[in-house]
Chain A
Amino acid sequence: AQKVTQAQTEISVVEKEDVTLDCVYETRDTTYYLFWYKQPPSGELVFLIRRNSFDEQNEISGRYSWNFQKSTSSFNFTITASQVVDSAVYFCALSEAWGNTPLVFGKGTRLSVIA
């Protein structure tokens, strides 16, 4: 069975600090996909990144970066030089290729960036 764990329920940082959101997953499938979504106060989930299990290269997009490590089943998300607009709930999600399963989400991490 697939499972996603986001151990950090809430994080508060001061603006311009770097912050890392942890994501650990469980799956029996050898082919799977990992995702990060952002949910701002307005409510909709905004897609940030999709990564397949065969691509372990880290990715950087502006102030965002993602570290995928199959050895520890982790897919962590780092925001560099955080800004108040980064305040949101962030979700990590997993989808197994076998059965083309819908997304299974972690419980989310609420990030508050204080000016």
Chain B
Amino acid sequence: EADIYQTPRYLVIGTGKKITLECSQTMGHDKMYWYQQDPGMELHLIHYSYGVNSTEKGDLSSESTVSRIRTEHFPLTLESARPSHTSQYLCASSERQLNTEAFFGQGTRLTVV
């Protein structure tokens, strides 16, 4: 069973608010990822990190930012939430070794009203 946690599970927030979605893993994984899942199910990579102080943007342009100050923690921040940010956000982590499987958290379902 994977030990990766996301909080909150559900969040309803007003337009213009700043929010941070938390993601923590206790497996000591070097690699961490954020995926955005639209209502049509498709998963889009928005950010990833291969270690502390390393972050990269993914394939889908996103107005969010991430930080990786500690190995176990990979928060995602929206400075000013908009209704277009309404989505499911999934965090994942994997080992340093080449192309190992990623383990996913339960996700945060964000609604911006």
Contacts and interface: CB of A to CB of B under 8 A. Distances in A.
Interface magnitude class on chain B: 20 to 34
B99 interface: yes
A100 interface: yes
Contacts of A96: 99
A43 B88 contact: yes
A27 to B, nearest CB: 12
Interface residues of A, number: 26
Interface in A72-107: 89, 91, 95-97, 100, 102-105, 107
A47 B102 contact: yes
Question: Binding site of A, secondary structure by majority: helix, strand, loop or mixed?
Answer: strand
B81 to A, nearest CB: 20
Given A50-B101, A102-B58, A107 B106 contact: no
A59 B99 CA distance: 19
A108 B104 contact: no
Contacts of A44: 90, 104-107
A61 interface: no
Contacts of A42: 106
Interface in A1-53: 32-33, 35, 37, 39, 42-47, 50, 52
Interface of B: 31, 33, 35, 40-43, 45, 48, 50, 58-59, 88, 90, 92, 98-107, 109
Interface of A: 32-33, 35, 37, 39, 42-47, 50, 52, 89, 91, 95-97, 100, 102-105, 107-108, 110
